[in-house]
Amino acid sequence: MWDYSDKVKDHFFNPRNVGEISNPDAWAEVGSLACGDALKLMLRIGADGRIIDAKFKTFGCGSAIASSSALTEMIIGKTVEEASKVSNQDIAEFLDGLPEEKMHCSVMGMEALEKALARYRGERVPEDDEEEGYRIVCHCFGVTDAKIKRVVRENRLTKAEQVTYYSKAGGGCGSCIPEIEDLIAEVWQEEGMSEEPVKAAKPAKMTNIEKMKLIMQTIDEEIRPTLQKDGGDIELIDIDGSNVLVSLRGNCASCKVAEFTLSLFVQQKLREMVSDDIVVEEVPE
């Protein structure tokens, strides 16, 4: 499905620093089981302000576990000030890269670290601030406008699909995609770069037959080859207007994150290549 570096595989199969710290000096919980990924980070900080131990517990995919493991390895031995500068890009680089579709895992690690250090300093944690003035844009995953604008700005994102990869926003029902695109445009306008190509070009108006052909072509040429790289596959069952009925095969059929494969990859790819209103549904065997 995705190509993972040897380091990602190593930190997934042999995660470092898994566990808990009794009475930690700093801790944070981010994500949620309902969203598919959750992370609890605990830190022990010495009198000199240096992180002497870090433990984590993660529920999520291999990339989430690897990112959490990498984060703890990166920050042990650093001062609080040094650790506060660790970004999600730093976590991805430490792992010799992450598939773009999995960058939200590195963002989750960065957010946990920021929240833990904010609590250590006695500051209000980011979630507390989000209740005042910020609003939920993606109700499927509880992502605020502030978080969307932040991942756009910090990671130089220009398309809604990328925002989904970095934050999961838009990866559910997809009704918030237009608002995500507006927020991307707003960020680039604030940055004085309104000429950025923030919205992906969509196909011209198509007949039903043309739309069906493009859906089949996208599945055959863009989606199936990617799934087959990881021993999976996909079968197109039916097309009913904008509803695309499919069945996952091979390794994808038994994958614990098959739901996210459909929403974050298959559905998003069809929306990018065919039409914004595409809804992908799985038909059980």
Instruction: Provide the 3-class DSSP secondary structure of residue 194.
Output: coil
For the chain, percent helix, then strand, then coil, each to nearest 5?
50, 20, 35
124: its two tokens: 């209000």
CB burial of residue 122 (10 Å; 0-12, 13-18, 19+)? exposed
Query: Is 61 labeled as catalytic in the residue annotation?
Result: no
Within 10 A of 277 (CB to CB), how many other CB atoms are there? 12
Cβ partners under 8 Å of residue 181, min gap 6: 160, 198, 199
- Number of Cα atoms under 13 Å in the Cβ half of residue 247: 8
Query: Is 252 labeled as catalytic in the residue annotation?
Result: no
Q: Which among 61, 105, 138, 176 is annotated as catalytic?
A: 105
Q: Which residues of 60-69 are buried (b: 16+ CB within 10 A; e: fewer)?
A: bbbbbbbbbb
Cβ partners under 8 Å of residue 195, min gap 6: none
Return the active site residues: 35, 105
